[in-house]
Homo-oligomer: A and B are copies of this chain.
Amino acid sequence: MDMQTAKERALRIREEQAYIRHAMGLMGWDLWGALPPEGRPFRAKASAYLASINHEKITGREALELRDYLKPRLDEDVFENEYERAAIREFVKTVDEQTILPFELQNELREVTQTGQMVWREALKAKDFQMQLPYMQKLFELEKKVAECKKPDQPVFNTLCEGVDEGMDVEQIERLFTELREGLVPLLQRAAERDRDVDESVLHFEASKPQMQEFGRFVVETVGFDFNKGSMGEVLHPMCYGIGPKDVRITTNYSRGAIDATMSLMHEGGHGMYNYSSNEQALKYGLWGGISGSMHESQSRYMENIVGRSREFWSFFYPEAQKRFDALKNVPFETFYRAFTRVKIGVKRLDADELSYSLHPILRFEIEKAYFDGKIQVKDFEEIWNEKHREFFGMVPKDAAEGILQDIHWTSGHIGYFQSYTLGNLIGGQVLEKQLEENPQMYEQIARGEFAPTLEFLRENIWQYGRLYTTGEMVEKVSGKPLSAAPFLKYLQKKFG
C-alpha cells in the first residue's frame, strides 16, 4: 500500500459512512416528526440495519488495514493540508473506537435509548421517576461500560465528557464552574430580588400558529438564517438536526407563545448556521457541521442570548412584533423588555432566564460526577436532585416532571453532556469579548437590523472550520487565550448588575 492509495481509500470509506449517516439522520429527525406510532418497529429494524452496514464498513478488514498503515504516519509530512490530516486522524480514531467497542454493546445502547425515550414521555406525563428509573440505571451502566472500553486507563467521567468536548477535562471544567458560581450566585440573588415584582404576563399573549410561524421565520431570516440551506418545522422538543452539509432542520414548539417560539428558533438557528457554514475544504474532507458539545452550544446560545436577548435586538424587532400582534400594540417597549429579561429563580432549565440558566447544567454535572465517583446511586437521583436544587436555588421542584424528569438527555444516552451548555455560555462570553474588541459597533449595528458583521465574524473565525479543531484549540484560536469564566461574568455583570 502507498500513502496516496491509503488516504483515498480511507476518505472513500468516510464518504460512504456520511451517506449512511445522512439516511440515519433523516430517520432520527423523522422519528419526532411525521413517523406514525405503528411505523416505529419497522423503523427500528431499518435503522439497526443501516447501523450494521456502517459498523461493518469501519471495522471490516479494509478499514483495519488502512488504520494500521495510517496510524503511525499521522504526524508525518504526508498530507495535502491540515484538513486532510484531520480527516485521516478522525478515521483512525473512529476505527480504534469502533473496533474496541463491542457492536452488541452499541446495539443494546441504541435499543435502550429508543425505548427509554418513549417511556420518558409517559413518565413525564405521570410525573413518576420510578417509571423511568430502570432505563436510567441501565443507561448509566451502559455508558460506563462504553467509557471503560474506550479508555480503560482513565476515570470514566473524564472519558464521557471528553467524548462531548474534546480537549476539555473534568478538572478544568470543575475549576471553571467554581469560578462561575462564585461570581454568579450573588449577582443572581440581587437581580432576582430586584425583579421580583416585574409582570411577565405581557409576554404570554394569544396568537394563531401561522402568525407565530411567520414572525419566527421573519426574525431568523432577517438575522441571516438561509432557508436555502435549512428548513423550519414543529416538534415537541425544539432541536436542530444537521442532516447534510447544507441541510439543517431547525424546529420549534408554539405551545409557549410567539416570543418563546422565536427564541427557540434563534437558538436552533445558531446551531443551524454553524452547521451549514463549513468551508470548501471542510466539506471536501467530510469535516462539516461544526465541533459538537460546548462549541456548538456556544453558537446557539450566542444567537439566542448575546444577540437575541439584547436590548438592541428587540429595539429593532419590537415594532414589527407590535405590528403583527394586537396584544402588544399598547405595551411600551420598556415594559416588554423588562418582562422579557426578568430574572426569576425557577425549576426548569428550559424556562430559566439568562442569568440563572448556567447553574442548571452545573447541578446535573455534579450529580453525574458524584455517580461516576461512586458516591451515589441512580435510584437516589430524585432525592439528590431536590437537595441540590435547594442548595443552588433555595427551593425544591414540586414533582419529578418539574425536577429530575424535565430533560430527555440521560434517557437518550447523553450522559456527560450537560456541562457543554454552561461551557457554551463561557465560550460565548469569551467570543463576545473578542468580537467587541474588533468591532465595538456590534450592538449599534444590531439596533439598526444589520446582522451581517456579527455573523461574518463568527463565520470567519469559527463556523467555516467545521470539525478541523478540538474545542480547546478552537477557543484559543478565536480568542487568543484558554477558556475562563471572567468574560462571561463581565457580560452578565454589565447586563444584570
Contact = CB atoms under 8 A, between A and B. Distances in A.
Nearest to A213: B209
A179 interface: no
Given A27-B26, A210-B210, A35 B231 contact: yes
Contacts of A39: 229, 243-247
Nearest to A45: B19
B30 A46 contact: no
B229 A38 contact: yes
Contact of A36 (B23, B46, B247): B247
Nearest to A53: B53
Nearest to A42: B244
Given A43-B244, A244-B43, A30 B37 contact: no
A231 B42 contact: no
Interface of A: 16, 18-20, 22-23, 26-27, 30, 34-39, 42-43, 45-46, 49-50, 53, 208-210, 227-231, 233, 243-249, 276
A364 to B, nearest CB: 32
A345 B39 CA distance: 42
A334 to B, nearest CB: 34
27 contacts: A18-B46, A19-B46, A20-B49, A20-B50, A22-B43, A22-B46, A23-B27, A23-B50, A30-B30, A34-B233, A35-B231, A36-B228, A36-B229, A36-B230, A36-B246, A36-B247, A36-B248, A38-B229, A38-B247, A39-B244, A39-B245, A39-B246, A42-B244, A42-B245, A208-B208, A208-B210, A210-B210
Nearest to A35: B247
Contacts of A231: 34-36
Contacts of A247: 35-36, 38-39, 42-43
Contacts of A36: 227-231, 246-248
Contacts of A35: 231, 247
Contacts of A208: 208, 210
A130 B211 CA distance: 41
Contacts of A30: 26, 30
Contacts of A245: 39, 42
A16 B49 contact: yes
Nearest to A229: B38
Contacts of A27: 23, 26
A19 B49 contact: yes
A268 to B, nearest CB: 14
**For the complex of A and B, 5 pairs with smallest distance between CB atoms:** A39-B247, A38-B246, A19-B46, A23-B23, A19-B49
A334 B344 CA distance: 60
A208 B210 CA distance: 9
Among A34, A42, A45, the one with the most B-chain Cβ atoms within 10 Å of its Cβ is A34
Given A36-B228, A38-B228, A38-B229, A244 B19 contact: no
Given A38-B276, A42-B245, 4 more contacts: A23-B50, A36-B247, A46-B244, A209-B210
